[in-house]
Chain A
Amino acid sequence: MPQLPKHNYYEILELPTNAAQHEVTTAYDRAKRTYSGENPAIYTVFSDSEARELLGLIEEAYSVLGNKTLRSIYDQRLLSSQFSIDDLSYSSILGASKQYYPEPKAEMKRPQYQKDAEFEKEIFAQTQWDGPFIKKVREYKGLSIERISEKTKINPYYISSIEKMEEKSLPASVFVRGYVSQIAKELGLNDKLVADSYLTLFKKKI
Chain B
Amino acid sequence: MEFEKVKPSEKLAPCIWGVSSGKGGVGKTFISTSLALTVSKLGHKVVLVDFDLTGANSHTALGIDPSHMNLRHYFESTKSLEDIVLNTPHPNLQYIQGFWDAWGPVSIETSHINQFWKDLKNIDADYVIIDLGTGFYEHHMNIFKRCDEKFLITTPEPTSIEKTYRFVESLICSTLKENSTPDAFGKLMYVLRDHRQRILPEPFSFKKYLLGHEGFIFDHFEQLSKKPVQLIVNSVRSPQQMELGHSMKSVACKYYDVSLEFAAAIDFDNAVWQSLRNREPVLVAQPFTPLSGQFLSLCKHMIDPEELRAVV
Task: Give me the interface of A with B, judged by CB distance under 8 Å.
Answer: 1-4, 14, 30-31, 33-34, 39-47, 54
CA distance A44 to B256 in the complex (A): 13
Contact in complex: B251, A45 (CB < 8 Å): yes
Instruction: Enumerate chain A residues within 8 angstroms of B257, measured Cβ to Cβ.
Output: 3
Instruction: Enumerate chain A residues within 8 angstroms of B208, measured Cβ to Cβ.
Output: 3
Q: Which of B158, B247, B250, B257 is the most central at the interface, judged by chain A CB atoms within 10 Å of its CB?
A: B250
Asked if B244 CB lies within 8 Å of chain A CBs, one says yes
Of the candidates A2, A14, A40, the one whose C-beta lies within 8 Å of that of B203 is: A2
Of the candidates B165, B200, B248, the one whose C-beta lies within 8 Å of that of A1 is: B200
**Shortest Cβ gap from A8 to chain B (Å):** 12
Interchain residue pairs with CB less than 8 A apart (9): A2-B254, A3-B203, A4-B254, A30-B247, A34-B246, A40-B156, A41-B244, A44-B162, A45-B255
Nearest to A1 among chain B residues (CB) is B203
Complex interface bits, B204-231 against A, C-beta within 8 A gives 1, otherwise 0: 1100100000000000000000000000
Number of A-B contacts (CB under 8 A): 56
Supposing A3-B257, A41-B161 touch, asked if A14 and B156 sit within 8 A by C-beta, the answer is no
Of the candidates A30, A40, A43, A54, the one whose C-beta lies within 8 Å of that of B254 is: A54
Instruction: Enumerate chain A residues within 8 angstroms of B102, measured Cβ to Cβ.
Output: none
**Shortest Cβ gap from B250 to chain A (Å):** 5
Contact in complex: A34, B253 (CB < 8 Å): no
Supposing A1-B200, A1-B203, A45-B255 touch, asked if A40 and B158 sit within 8 A by C-beta, the answer is yes
Task: Give me the interface of B with A, judged by CB distance under 8 Å.
Answer: 156-158, 161-162, 165, 198, 200, 202-205, 208, 243-244, 246-248, 250-251, 253-255, 257
Of the candidates B162, B202, B203, B250, the one whose C-beta lies within 8 Å of that of A34 is: B250
Contact in complex: B247, A42 (CB < 8 Å): yes
Contact in complex: B251, A42 (CB < 8 Å): yes
CA distance A159 to B118 in the complex (A): 92
**Shortest Cβ gap from B234 to chain A (Å):** 15
Nearest to A33 among chain B residues (CB) is B243
Instruction: Enumerate chain A residues within 8 angstroms of B198, measured Cβ to Cβ.
Output: 1, 47
**Shortest Cβ gap from B199 to chain A (Å):** 11
Contact in complex: A40, B161 (CB < 8 Å): yes
**Shortest Cβ gap from B244 to chain A (Å):** 5
Contact in complex: A1, B202 (CB < 8 Å): yes
* 6 cross-chain pairs, A with B, having the tightest CB-CB distances, nearest first: A41-B247, A1-B203, A3-B205, A34-B247, A3-B203, A40-B158
Contact in complex: B250, A31 (CB < 8 Å): yes
Nearest to B207 among chain A residues (CB) is A3
**Shortest Cβ gap from A55 to chain B (Å):** 12
Contact in complex: B161, A43 (CB < 8 Å): yes
Instruction: Enumerate chain A residues within 8 angstroms of B162, measured Cβ to Cβ.
Output: 43-44
Supposing A2-B203, A3-B257 touch, asked if A43 and B246 sit within 8 A by C-beta, the answer is no
Of the candidates B165, B244, B254, the one whose C-beta lies within 8 Å of that of A44 is: B165
Contact in complex: B156, A34 (CB < 8 Å): no
Contact in complex: B205, A30 (CB < 8 Å): no
CA distance A54 to B203 in the complex (A): 13
Nearest to A50 among chain B residues (CB) is B198
Instruction: Enumerate chain B residues within 8 angstroms of A45, measured Cβ to Cβ.
Output: 165, 251, 255
Supposing A1-B202, A3-B203 touch, asked if A43 and B158 sit within 8 A by C-beta, the answer is yes
Instruction: Enumerate chain B residues within 8 angstroms of A43, measured Cβ to Cβ.
Output: 158, 161-162
CA distance A132 to B205 in the complex (A): 79
Contact in complex: B254, A3 (CB < 8 Å): yes
**Shortest Cβ gap from A14 to chain B (Å):** 6
Instruction: Enumerate chain B residues within 8 angstroms of A39, measured Cβ to Cβ.
Output: 244, 247
Contact in complex: A3, B251 (CB < 8 Å): no
Contact in complex: A30, B243 (CB < 8 Å): yes
Instruction: Enumerate chain A residues within 8 angstroms of B204, measured Cβ to Cβ.
Output: 1, 3
Q: Which of B204, B246, B257 is the most central at the interface, judged by chain A CB atoms within 10 Å of its CB?
A: B246
Nearest to B166 among chain A residues (CB) is A44
Contact in complex: A41, B248 (CB < 8 Å): yes
Of the candidates B200, B202, B251, the one whose C-beta lies within 8 Å of that of A41 is: B251
Instruction: Enumerate chain A residues within 8 angstroms of B203, measured Cβ to Cβ.
Output: 1-4
For the complex with contacts A34-B250, A41-B248, 14 further pairs of A-B residues with Cβ separation under 8 Å are A1-B202, A3-B203, A3-B208, A3-B255, A31-B250, A33-B247, A39-B247, A40-B157, A40-B161, A41-B161, A42-B247, A44-B165, A45-B255, A46-B255
CA distance A1 to B201 in the complex (A): 10
CA distance A2 to B251 in the complex (A): 11
**Shortest Cβ gap from B299 to chain A (Å):** 25
Nearest to A42 among chain B residues (CB) is B251
Nearest to B163 among chain A residues (CB) is A44
CA distance A96 to B161 in the complex (A): 43
Nearest to B160 among chain A residues (CB) is A40
CA distance A105 to B122 in the complex (A): 75
Nearest to A26 among chain B residues (CB) is B246
